[in-house]
Structure 1
Amino acid sequence: MTSRPLARRSLFAGSGALLVGGVLSACASEPEAPPAPPAGPEIAEPTPAQTTEQLDAVVAEISTAVTAADEARDPAQLAPRVIGSAVEFRTAAYALIAKAEEWAAQLTVPGAALVVPMSTTGTDFPRTAIGLVENSAADGVPFFVALQQADARSPYTTWGWAQQAVDVAMPTVADAAVGSEAVAIDAADLVMTPAEALALYATVLTDGDAKDPEDQLAVDPFITSRHSEIQEERKALNAGVEWDEGATIRETYAVREDEFAGLRTDDGGALVMGTLTSTRKVTIKDGATMRYAEDNAYTKVVGTREFTKEFVRTFGTHVALYIPSAEAGGQVQPVGATLTALTATGS
């Protein structure tokens, strides 16, 4: 994904741009900030202002933890703010780096500044927030960061961040002083449930647009780049022979069901985040030998660049999707993705 400088008030280009009051403008009239809480015991339900202030601190702590862990190549330093697949993906990435230092370049780090906060403010748990967070790299494209609090005694944590897609229109979200409604993975008032949308996304990544005959999924730069990459590799594997005569290549994606975050957008739709895992397998035909370039970073991990049976790579991806309301209709729009290479094996 190409990085480019983005001003705080022009992050979201396009007719459907994400516009948020405080950082950006939300609606025609912005709601007034909530009144100061009365003196005395702390109120049971947090105000949006309190939640936003809390998330500012959480985002900074996440950025600090990820930076420290990357410098030390030590996933233990991600705790307690970073959990789940984010820890698993980082642990695998550090193992790749130990075998080939160039893999360090794949590590992306959310910055310490929260650009746009989107959060629920009710008393129910778990509480969910999705923060648009600056990139720690200079002029880098920001990330959607999933943030959740399991219960009143637990800290806000993140299991992943998806880098915002460039030149993709975004939905409008509620002003930070109002907060958003949490969206369940089986919410039925959208063009499809979040579970169905994530499953469709994984299916199209695996099998292409033919698996989306009703054109429910909008054009996505991440899908385009992954499919183009596979076709280029397929062409190289079968150079000088008929298509797939030397080797076949296929990448299969699956949704990780234990990680999901969803919030209502201003138009009744939903901004959701989830986690995908994938396996890309090159199967070599009997009698053939596939040779990769000496500078191939994956083969450095395996320890050989020649394969006679198979060559397998695995990946983890955090994604963000916008799902329109059933009433409004329209396509599911992928709005962010962060890919992490995990393992490479072969024989």
Structure 2
Amino acid sequence: MTRPTLRRPARKDTLMTARPVARRGFFLGAGSLLATGALAACSSEPEAPPAPPKGPEPAEPTPVNTHEQFETCVSEVNAAVVAADKKMDAKKLAPRVSGSAADFRKAAYAMIEEAEEWKDFLTTPSDTLIVPMTTVSAEFPRVAIALVEDSAKEGVPFFMALQQADAKSPYSAWGWAQQAAGIEMPSVPNELVGSEAVAADADDLLLTPDKALALYAKVLSDGKDADADDLLGEDPFMTERHKQIQTERTELNTGVEKDEAATVKETYAVKEEEFAGLRTDDGGAIVMGTLLSSRTVSIKDRATMRYGEDNPYTKVIGKREFTKEYIRKFGTHVALYIPSKDAGGTIQPIAATLTTLGAEGS
């Protein structure tokens, strides 16, 4: 049986990668089978035959969702986000968008009201499903992860975290993270087979998912020295965030006496209420979580930090001069690949999308 893979070669000058031919062929094949069934159902209706015997129960658990159900869910998530963005009304996100995804959008709309340019930073998954990952567990809440195309032309695919609270509730997306460039992606079970759900405290992995997310937050906050056992692989998001902080420190303190130098520190924390984890082909797991962070510029006594002209942050704050601190708040959805304990290796961040939630200063 063909197994879909999330591994995709990088495309020039963009984080987007090309869809493998093998996976496209698999999806076309599945679609053809479904189309055949639909045509048969439309033929004349003879007298109903007696119900066939149920037959033996399947030896292995089967996926709880079909490809078509995934497509419907992804399409409705996209429609909800597009409708909400058009009116800048977070209420239009429900019920298909929930949790931090809804909270982040609401905060983004408030930023846009103060500075129109923040609209350019909104990211929106499209209605096009690439790879579905569904659990074989019938228990609630159910989790799923979908790899979805970006709505922007030549954009970057998103890992979308989905959850179904109970049998009467629809799947809703609580977060989406864009695939990292230049990172090898793990292979996942075929959608007809499904994936085992992975708990946040699963101990058959190199590190339990909750501890892996906490380690990622720690290294984002404190640098690679916080990863004493060298368990975490490098990724573009981490590299860029650390580079930004170093650049900001340099720009703030060029020509400034040491005792007047401002400090810049960004601190990340895991939002423990949100988690999705599914098993990969090799016994590892793809897990998704939410990080909240604040980047604070602390200004020394009797010193002043002043911008010569407004920027998107100062427009939100309503001032350009600060004598105590200057704070920006962010929310980030992330995806990590954690290998099995037996396989070893490193925990690899594979996706991240950051949203600016607010700014303040005094």
Secondary structure of the corresponding residue to residue 170 of structure 1: coil
Instruction: Normalising by structure 2, report the TM-score.
Output: 0.85
Question: 2:288 is matched with which residue: 264, 270, 273?
Answer: 273
Deviation at 1:232, TM superposition (A): 0.8
Which runs of structure 2 are paired with 1:10-89 in the superposition (5 Å)?
A: 22=26, 48=63, 50-89=65-104
Match of 2:137 in 1: 122
Distance 1:340 1:10, change over 3 A: farther
Query: What residue is the counterpart of 2:227 in the other structure?
Result: 212
How far off is 1:128 after superposition? Answer: 1.2
Q: Residue 109 of structure 1: which of 121, 124, 136 is its match?
A: 124
Asked whether the 8 Å contact 1:313–1:345 carries over to 2, the reply is: yes
CA distance in 2 between partners of 1:47 and 1:262 (Å): 17
Q: Which whole-Å deviations, capped at 9, do the CAs of 1:174-224 have from their partners, x for residues lacking one? A: 011100000000000000000010000000000000101211000111011
SS at match of 1:173: coil
Query: Is 2:240 the counterpart of 1:225?
Result: yes
Counterpart position of 2:174: 159
Q: CA deviation at 1:300?
A: 1.0
Is there any run of 5+ residues in structure 2 with no aligned partner, and where?
1-12, 38-48
Q: Which residue number corresponds to residue 14 of structure 1?
A: none
1:94 aligns with 2:98: no
For residue 204 of structure 2, give the secondary structure of its aligned residue in structure 1.
coil
For 2:322, the equivalent position in structure 1 comes to: 307
TM-score normalised by structure 1 residue count: 0.89
Q: Matched residues in 1 for 2:258 and 2:152: separation?
A: 41
Q: Quick one: structure 1 residues 169 and 293, their matched pair in 2 at CA, closer, same or farther if it must change by over 3 Å?
A: farther
Once the two structures are superposed, what CA deviation does each residue of 1:139-193 show, in whole Å capped at 9, x if it has no partner?
1010000011111111101100000001100111001110000000000000000
- 2:111–2:316 contact (8 Å) kept in structure 1: yes
* 1:20 shift after superposition: 9.2
Supply the distance in 1 between the matched residues of 2:320 and 2:81 (Cα, whole angstroms): 32
Amino acid at match of 2:26: G
CA positional deviation for 1:8 = 2.1
Partners of 1:191 and 1:20 lie apart in 2 by 32
Give the length in aligned residue pairs: 330
Q: Which amino acid aligns with 2:345?
A: G
- Aligned-pair identity in percent equals 61
Aligned-partner Cα distance in 2 for 1:342–1:10: 39
User: Within the alignment, does 1:144 sit opposite 2:148 as a pair?
Assistant: no
- Residues in 2 aligned to 1:213 and 1:203: alpha-carbon distance in whole angstroms: 11
Aligned amino acid, residue 76 of structure 2: E
Match of 1:15 in 2: none
The 1:249–1:119 alpha-carbon spacing in structure 2 relative to 1, beyond 3 Å, is same
Residue 261 of structure 1 and its aligned partner are, at CA, apart by 0.1
- Following the alignment from structure 1 to structure 2, what is the Cα–Cα distance between the partners of residues 243 and 180? 55
CA distance in 2, matches of 1:221, 1:273: 17
Partner of 2:217: 202
Q: Which structure is larger by alpha-carbon Rg, 1 or 2? A: 2
Aligned twin of 1:27: none
1:6, distance to aligned residue in structure 2 (A): 3.5
Query: Are the equivalent residues in 1 in contact too, given 2:64–2:135 (CA < 8 A)?
Result: no
Partner AA of 1:95 in structure 2: A
Q: Please state if 1:7 is matched with 2:11.
A: no
More helix by share: 2
Task: Report the aligned-residue RMSD.
Answer: 2.7
**1:103 deviation in Å?**
0.3
2:201 corresponds to 1:186: yes
Deviation at residue 125 of structure 1 after TM alignment: 1.4
Cα shift readout 1:103-134 (whole Å, capped 9, x = no counterpart): 00111000001100011133211111100000
